[in-house]
Amino acid sequence: MTAPDIQSRKDGEKICCMTAYDYSSGMIADAAGMDLVLVGDSLGMVVLGHEDTLSVTMDEMIHHVRATSRGVKRALLVADMPFMSYSTVEMALENGGRFLSEGRAKAVKLEGGENVVPQIEALVAAGIPVMAHIGLTPQHVARFGGFKAQGKTLEAAKALVEDARAVEAAGAFCVVLEAIPVEVAELITKAVDIPTIGIGAGNVTDGQILVYHDVLGLFDRFTPKFVRTYVQHGKEAVQALEMYGKDVRSTRFPGDKNTFYLSDEMAEQVRK
Ligand code: KIV
Ligand code: NA
């Protein structure tokens, strides 16, 4: 999948997106037929255990993007630009460039609307496809005063439509809409010709994205209302390791099948 492939799916088949953070999660998301895999800065929370995404660094992101790239064969691999890594056009170009050259990503994502138009234009001009992200932009959590739904007043809804139009005009190939009312998501989806990818934006967007750890029940802190958890992997993993612990303590593990043996002849010599 390429950025133009994703862009051409406007009003077509829904675009399935998932986050991933390393070789195995990337491989699993790709095997499941995801169209787009995002190495999200959500890794700060679900992989590194931080309270929010603000402390994630470029070097940490590159490390995870490289690992994920080895597992993703078909899906479009997108790298999330961390907090303050695109404050200026120069920084956006330097860090966006690193994601493609060192990280082997095929596109980048950054948070913002009208305020990041110069960065989007410069990245696209340099050959770096950009996925935009508006609504609840977690890098602005301090300003929002928490992870709260956005676009709930007429004024805020209009501003979001303007943001979507701005990132489209700047050259973004798609835009994430996070935690906004479905009516506003519908308005935005109709207002732009690039695909909208929803997370907590209802069933009206051109695609959906969720966080891998939320879908698989691997995150222990909280699960937003917009998540559907398909399997409780975290609980299953604890149960599996408990069984292992029991087997070790009772010497039922390792068994014959897990054990290396010498040939009979050698074993005899060793015993002598
Ligand atoms: O970091 C992330 O996982 C994201 C997606 C939820 C869009 O930004
Ligand atoms: Na993110």
94 is catalytic: no
Give me the catalytic one of 178, 183, 186, 265: 178
Residue 72 Cα to ligand 2 midpoint, Å, equals: 19
Average pLDDT over residues 191-200: 98
Residue 102: what are its φ and ψ, rounded to 5°?
A: -85, -40
Whether CATH 3.40.720.10 fits 3-231: no
Give the residue whose CA is nearest to atom 8 of ligand 1.
Answer: 40
Average pLDDT over residues 233-239: 98
Q: How many CB atoms lie within 10 A of CB 244?
A: 12
pLDDT confidence tier of residue 178, bands split at 50, 70 and 90: very high
Residue 39 Cα to ligand 1 midpoint, Å, equals: 8
Q: What confidence tens digit (pLDDT) does each residue in 30-87 have?
A: 999 999 999 999 999 999 999 999 999 999 999 999 999 999 999 999 999 999 999 9
* Most informative mutation of 18, 25, 37, 42 for ligand 1 (most atoms within 8 A of CB): 42
Query: Quick one: how many helices (H) and strands (E) in the chain?
Result: 12, 8
Ligand 1 first shell, C-beta below 6 A: 19, 38, 40-42, 80, 133, 176, 199, 209, 211
Domain with CATH 3.20.20.60 in the chain: 3-231
Average pLDDT over residues 213-217: 97
- State yes or no: 256 annotated in a binding site: no
Coil, helix or strand at residue 144: helix
Half-sphere exposure of 41 (CA within 13 A, CB side): 23
* Most informative mutation of 176, 180, 196, 197 for ligand 1 (most atoms within 8 A of CB): 176
Query: Could you report the predicted ipTM of this complex, rounded to two decimals?
Result: 0.99
Could you give the angle at which helices 89-101 and 117-125 cross, rounded to 10 degrees?
40
Statement: residue 272 has pLDDT above 90? no
Q: What is the pTM of this model?
A: 0.96
Angle at 153 between CA 160 and CA 179, to 5 degrees: 55
Answer whether 222's CB lies under 8 Å from 213's CB: no
The pLDDT value recorded for residue 153 is 97
